[in-house]
């Protein structure tokens, strides 16, 4: 009797449609595509539009991905159309006694004393054990967010590039006080629902992985494997942003830089020479990826046009 190995699931790229994708985001998308395709996974696109949305940004982002040769499987999923899935997950957590109402503003959380060894911004548990009278008073003042009642301070995940990584788990937000699902909940529910078992994204999100994996375990969902890749930064070592000049395909087009040239530049930053994503598959080796940030300068953008 022979047993067959189940096929791998899917990888994904999930941008927020707040503006055009810059070179760093496109490079992360390229890496997510390479990780997925090199392991015979499907590659999915998800628009994470629960927060800031600039009209037309999602369509431009998809066009830019196509322009550098990235394809994807199936229809593009939009988080704004998946509220019922998030509500069901919150219901399950509530019935298990894993949620509570929180009335803290961002400023109050920022200024509250933190627990020892907790990172900046970790929730200190201010509203965790409010009395019935205090709950009633707070409800009359402002709408409540919903937080997870965590029973651990930390959780460990395995990352392809970073190895074993243990991160802080706090009482993370599940639903904002406007009733919209919070980022960590939506990501966990979406990845599981879409069969995504490989998450490749910027290493600024590495600290979120333990929170998300822990939340997945409470919901009885499988956690994906992770690969958090180095970011693109400016000459000062700061995360790349619009103020840094010619960093989007639209910017580069004004300098005469074509999408294929931008892709070649991204490839060189990864130590590869192919000029299309398919060509890069032949060279791709996750073990040989750079571990340092990619420094992107306006001068280099101008030189790419020459």
Residues 76-122 pLDDT 10s: 999 999 999 999 999 999 999 999 999 998 888 887 776 555 666 68
Q: Is 13 annotated as a binding residue?
A: yes
Q: Which of 268, 267, 199 is nearest to 229 (CA)?
A: 199
Q: Which residue has the tokens 């995504």?
A: 196
What is the reported pLDDT for 243?
73
Specify whether the CB–CB gap between 135 and 118 falls below 8 A.
no
- For residues 123-139, give the mean pLDDT: 94
What is the reported pLDDT for 306?
42
What is the reported pLDDT for 6?
59
The torsion of the CA quartet 264, 200, 188, 111, rounded to 10 degrees, works out to -90
What is the reported pLDDT for 8?
74
The architecture CATH gives domain 83-194+207-225: 3-Layer(aba) Sandwich (3.40)
Q: Which of 230, 249, 233 is nearest to 241 (CA)?
A: 233
Query: Is residue 305 pLDDT above 50, yes or no?
Result: no
- For residues 263-288, give the mean pLDDT: 96
Q: Is 258 a catalytic residue?
A: no
Q: Which of 157, 244, 146 is nearest to 206 (CA)?
A: 157
State the pLDDT confidence band at 235, using cuts at 50, 70 and 90: confident
Q: Is 140 annotated as a binding residue?
A: no
Helix/strand number for the chain, H first, E second: 11, 12
- For residues 282-306, give the mean pLDDT: 78
Q: Which of 137, 242, 254, 268 is catalytic?
A: 242
The torsion of the CA quartet 158, 160, 164, 166, rounded to 10 degrees, works out to -70
CB atoms within 10 A of CB 275: 14
* Segment 157-174, tens digit of pLDDT: 999 999 999 999 999 999
Q: Which residue has the tokens 């970790």?
A: 122
Q: Is 27 annotated as a binding residue?
A: no
Query: Is residue 5 pLDDT above 60, yes or no?
Result: no
Question: Which tokens in the block code for residue 215?
Answer: 């939340």
Q: Is 286 annotated as a binding residue?
A: no
Query: Is residue 181 pLDDT above 90, yes or no?
Result: yes
Share of the chain above pLDDT 90, in %: 83
- For residues 212-241, give the mean pLDDT: 93
CATH fold of the domain at 17-78+230-304: Rossmann fold (3.40.50)
State the pLDDT confidence band at 2, using cuts at 50, 70 and 90: very low
| Domain locations in the chain as residue ranges | 17-78+230-304, 83-194+207-225
Question: In angstroms, rounded to a whole number, what is the distance separating the alpha carbons of residues 207 and 73?
Answer: 29
Q: What's the predicted TM-score (pTM) here?
A: 0.91
Least-confidence region, from 38-42, 117-121, 186-190? 117-121
> What is the phi/psi pair of residue 145, to 5°?
-90, 170
Instruction: Give yes or no on whether 17-78+230-304 and 83-194+207-225 have one common fold.
Output: yes
Question: In angstroms, rounded to a whole number, what is the distance separating the alpha carbons of residues 211 and 232?
Answer: 24
Q: Is 15 annotated as a binding residue?
A: yes
Query: Is residue 285 pLDDT above 60, yes or no?
Result: yes
What is the reported pLDDT for 114?
63
What is the reported pLDDT for 297?
78
Q: Is 14 annotated as a binding residue?
A: yes
- For residues 174-201, give the mean pLDDT: 97
């Amino acid at each position: 009797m022979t047993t067959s190995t189940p096929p791998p699931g899917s990888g994904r790229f999930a941008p927020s449609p707040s503006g055009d994708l810059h070179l760093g985001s496109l490079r992360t998308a390229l890496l997510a595509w390479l990780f997925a395709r090199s392991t015979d996974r499907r590659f999915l696109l998800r628009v994470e539009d629960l927060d800031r949305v600039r009209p037309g940004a999602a369509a431009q982002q998809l066009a830019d991905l196509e322009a550098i040769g990235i394809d994807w499987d199936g229809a593009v999923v939009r988080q704004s159309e998946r509220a019922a899935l998030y509500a069901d997950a919150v219901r399950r957590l509530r019935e298990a006694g894993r949620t509570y109402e929180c009335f803290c503003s961002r400023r109050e959380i920022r200024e509250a004393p933190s627990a020892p060894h907790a990172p900046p911004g970790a929730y200190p548990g201010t509203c965790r054990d409010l009395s019935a009278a205090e709950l009633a008073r707070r409800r009359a003042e402002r709408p409540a967010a919903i937080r997870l009642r965590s029973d651990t301070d930390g959780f460990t995940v395995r990352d392809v590039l970073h190895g074993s990584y243990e991160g802080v788990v706090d009482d993370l937000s599940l639903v904002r006080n406007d009733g919209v699902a919070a980022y960590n909940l939506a990501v966990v529910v979406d990845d599981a629902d879409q069969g995504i078992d490989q998450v490749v994204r910027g290493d600024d999100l590495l600290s979120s992985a333990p929170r998300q994996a822990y939340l997945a375990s409470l919901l009885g969902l499988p956690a994906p494997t992770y690969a958090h890749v180095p970011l693109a930064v400016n000459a000062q070592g700061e995360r790349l942003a619009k103020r840094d000049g010619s960093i989007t395909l639209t910017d580069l087009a004004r300098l005469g830089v074509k999408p294929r040239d931008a892709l070649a530049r991204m490839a060189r930053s990864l130590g590869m020479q192919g000029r299309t994503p398919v060509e890069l598959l032949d060279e791709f080796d996750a073990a040989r990826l750079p571990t340092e940030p990619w420094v992107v300068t306006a001068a280099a953008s101008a030189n790419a046009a020459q």
